[in-house]
Chain A
Amino acid sequence: MPGQSLLQRILGQTGLYAAIACYVIFALLPIYWTIKISVTPQDLLYSEGIKLWPSRMTLANYTSVLKATDFPRYFLNSFLVSVTTAVIVTVVASFAGYALSRFRFRGKALVSLVLLLTQTFPLVMVIPPIYRIMGQLGLTDNLYGLIIIYTAFNIAFATFLMQSFLDGVPKDLEEAAMIDGCTRFEALRRVIMPLTLPGMGATVAFVFTAAWSELLFALMLINSESQKTFSVGLLTFVSKFAVDWGQMMAASVMALIPVCLFFMFLQRYLVTGLTAGAVKG
């Protein structure tokens, strides 16, 4: 910045980086601690409890989680549920968001309002009726039930998200495409969709993460081992008399991996500014 001495600039930069460092440490410390405990041998867990890194490392926790527990199964269940939910929600929300963004129709304001209202319900209030309904439909204790519920609970927010992304794409573009020879649907697919990929990426990521880490419904609706998701599975490490911290943390770390991979893959779609240059400027 002009008008600043070198010293001021250095101090400013230092302050800035110090602040960023504080923030990053604050945000990442729990994850660091999880990783640390997952590689700490059982006998050192309490004796070296507050050390930043244990004096010996082990992967025993990981091998026992993978070999001696049902975790691979839980993992697969979580993955199936989360991916299916994310895909269904994003597809439906894209179309719904498109309609809200582009068409004028009777009752549009009402639809928006009702969607918004669904977001304000306290979860505990809807749990008993949902349990009853799902029970009578035979959807308790299976993954389809979870997929349906997660889809229902995420769709409103995802619709608003997609609507705002679609609002950001100039209407002229699809009109130009329609004049150039597209039907409305082709215009959507060839012009609008490529431009809303960042938005769809964000929506997929949001819904995937929400479903992946959901505990309440999974705990309530699932009983049998074969249908458990990983978040419920984590609780199996809590027994009456002790908590197996090492294995629990190892399982948690493994649960973080797909989320991290997912975000790395989506990152390039999350870059905004793809629409730059569409219109004047």
Chain B
Amino acid sequence: MASVSLRNVHKKFGPITVLESIDLDIADGEFVVLVGPSGCGKSTLLRSIAGLEAINGGEIQIGDRPVTHMAPKDRDIAMVFQSYALYPHMDVRRNMAFSLNLRKSPAALIGERVAEASAKLGLNALLDRLPKQLSGGQRQRVAMGRAIVRNPKVFLFDEPLSNLDAKLRATMRTEIKALHQSLKTTAIYVTHDQVEAMTMANRIVVMSDGVIQQVGPPLELYDRPANMFVAGFIGSPTMNFFDAVIVRGAARLADGSLLPLAPAAWKEGREIVIGIRPEHLHFADQGFPATVTVVEPLGMSTQVTLDAVEERVTLLALERPQLSPGDRKYLTAKAADIHVFDRVSGLRLN
């Protein structure tokens, strides 16, 4: 177990900068999830921590050891690949024992560790099979087993569940979280699945274009996104955005309707963007007008899509509103639920 700290990490592929001055401190035992759109550098960051990519600048420390120039094998980490990367010519037992064998651990210890891990992951019946004789879910478990057998300082996961079907993914998600709670090993987990990020993380790191946008506990990111990118990225269905101007302490939308803002020293005439999560919008007698276009009952909630103020708006209602396409409604939100961003910089203002 160990903390991980990244100082000013840079990485380029040829002329292209993929990681730009990454600073991150991960506490001992923490479960940190990296999210971001495809190509933003999540895998590259993870692989840099693993030592599979040499970084072009900055420092990486695991525990109290600087590892920037260490080979992967000396960093005492374990990694679970998206493709699982099981050794095809070794059976499950040898796959799991591989790292301990390399370290010349005593056979008794190896046997004990493998037995322990395979019991934990329900692999006992599969120990003598080759990877090609396993299902996708079983391979995933073996990959996990191979990682935990080593008892490493840090676990690295690169989208380990993305090849599984939805149901198995949900099961494995819970299992990995339970595993982390019992092992308490520091973990860094890359995903682009919102639900995985929200449910598993102690803290989420949101990245975009090689830059960290925000770091924080899941609900903090959800409730107080630092900028429009994070606001739009976290949460599904995504947040609704409207261009607005400050008029006497309220937000005036493009069609002239006013929405209340929490009291603050708002500068008259300032150009802003306001963001409202779908579940915070509700129907009212006044607010801004909108026309219902699609109604999608989800059971627990109902998702309503409306056309309003030159924008398409999503509303999530917990009750079951009686609506049909074409209905004219007024929408509003509580002042406390409205996020305010600067229109130029995209930074949060309230």
Q: Residues of A at under 8 Å CB distance from B?
A: 170, 172-173, 175-183, 186, 191, 194-195, 274-281
**A281 contact set on B, CB distance < 8 A:** 136
- CB distance B134 to A180 under 8 Å? no
Partner of A172, one of B51, B81, B131: B81
A173 to B88, CA, bound (A): 9
Interface centre among B89, B103, B136, B146 (most CB of A within 10 A): B89
Q: Find A183's partner among B71, B98, B130 (CB 8 Å cutoff).
A: B71
The interface size bin for chain B is 20 to 34
Q: Which residues of A contact B88 (CB under 8 A)?
A: 173, 195, 274-278
Q: Distance (Å) between the CB of A1 and the closest chain B CB? A: 28
The 5 closest A-B pairs by CB, nearest first: A277-B132, A279-B83, A172-B85, A181-B102, A277-B131
> Can you list 13 A-B contacts (CB < 8 A)?
A172-B81, A175-B72, A176-B85, A178-B71, A178-B72, A180-B102, A181-B103, A195-B88, A277-B86, A277-B88, A277-B131, A277-B139, A278-B88
Question: Contact partner of B87 among A186, A276, A278, A280, CB < 8 A?
Answer: A278
Does B50 make an interface contact (CB < 8 A)? Answer: yes
A278 adjacent to B72 (CB under 8 Å): no
Query: Which one, A176, A181, A194, contacts B79 given CB within 8 A?
Result: A176
Distance of A177 Cα from B52 Cα, bound (Å): 11
Residues in A with CB closer than 8 Å to B99 are: 180-181
Contact status of A179 and B72, CB under 8 A, knowing A170-B85, A275-B88, A277-B86: yes
* B146 in complex: contacting residue of A180, A194, A274, A275, CB < 8 Å: A180
**Distance between Cα atoms of A178 and B88 in the complex (Å):** 16
Select the residue from B78, B88, B133, B163 with max chain A CB neighbours within 10 A: B88
Partner of A279, one of B50, B85, B103: B85
> Separation in Å of the A270 CB from the closest CB of chain B?
16
B246: shortest Cβ distance to chain A, in Å?
A: 52
Q: Quick one: given A172-B85, A280-B83, A280-B163, are A178 and B52 in contact (CB under 8 Å)?
A: yes
Assembled-state Cα–Cα distance A136/B71 (Å): 48
B48-80 vs A, CB cutoff 8 Å, 1 = contact: the mask equals 001110000000000000000001110101110
Q: Mark B80-120, 1 if CB is under 8 A from A, else 0.
A: 01111111110000000011001100000000000000000
Closest CB-CB distance, A98 to chain B, in whole Å? 17
Which chain A residues lie closer than 8 Å to B52 at the CB level? Answer: 175, 178-179
